[in-house]
Chains A and B, each alone.
Chain A
Amino acid sequence: MKNKEEIFSLLCQLLEQMFEVDPTRIETETTFRELDIDSIDAVDLMVRLHELTGKRIAPEDFKSIVTVGDVVEIIWRMVSE
């Protein structure tokens, strides 16, 4: 994953596969609440991201997540470290 666009499109793919989200509804500022992603779903998503990136999102970062863009930022920060 070289840039934020790639991370964003990966995320869209995951949201579609795992939670039946229509990818055309997803923007960076879309909230997970709007997409009907609940807290258990969020945990599933984090587990999947961990499998894919090999990095674990810190609990305090996890709690601060509201929008799809927030996750993109966190992953971007982790992979570029």
Chain B
Amino acid sequence: MSFLDLKNVTKIYPNGTKAVHETSLSIDEGEFMVFVGPSGCGKSTLLRMVAGLEDITEGDINLDGKLINEVDPSERDVAMVFQNYALYPHMNVYNNLAYGLKNRGIDKETIEQKVNDAAKLLQISDYLQRKPSMLSGGQRQRVAMGRAIVRNPKIFLFDEPLSNLDAKLRIQMRLEIKKLQQKVGVTSIFVTHDQVEAMTLADRLAVINNGIIEQLGTPIEIYDNPKSLFVAGFIGSPQMNFLDGNLKNKILSAEGFEIKDINTDFEGEVTLGIRPEHLSQTENGLINLNVDLVEQLGSDNLVYGQLKNKKDFCYRCPGNQTIEKGSNLSLNIENNKYYIFDKSTGKRVN
């Protein structure tokens, strides 16, 4: 049995909404697991069930070999960082950090030492006497993490903690969280809807949709090998291009071109997925793109345009190439990096 074990966990709200469907998941000790998915997919509910803030309708959750379904949140030895931090507004930073320890009946000297250690680690020692309202967003974020660290819990739970920060600070805090987790080595679950955050932070990633884990794996596995249309569309930026097509006798007829010798026995309506970064310019390529718009990011250019049938399409090329608006590009798929999904089920078929 692994460190945290979810077995057929289901959540049905009193009004009948099914937020999480029979989800099973194992997380090893020290692992950084990220739940990623669109809003309302049940990722937060799953996290809150681990924290004990939501009842578990069905299934079992085991933490460190102990069934915790009925264990009170305060007894579970988990710490959570909330989206809006939920700092205690009337207490100064020191007391925010110390409150959980005080409730555990730890003596004053130990508390002081633990708080000071955590503050040092997070570089908030200078603000210990301040109230949360006097702190900036990044500092509040650190205090929220300090409150989690100081208790030395079995597991850290992060509920979209970076979404209230501005872009620059978010990237900085993302790095800090990752470093901190590696330094402290505590098992962590991080919930986010931001796929970049998910890719960068995760040891392993669970892509969740409609209360189901669509795919579980390392970020690169999921990027290279999406098992469903949803995962393919969700992971990767800019989004994967999708084209309608038909598969017969290992030949894919898409809109305006054909791909032969496809490694599958599937026949019928399919969706072809091509990542914008897996294309290159060539003469007489498969795909003809009419350029509408070029976004120059410096390192890369994002080229947006339309295919012959007016279908929107995106191509990503190195930033040193100049592409004129209105020009016509001929593109090939690099190294046969394309994905074919059954149109009716969304499952990968090649």
Tell me, yes or no, whether A binds B: no
Residues of A with Cβ closer than 8 Å to B? none
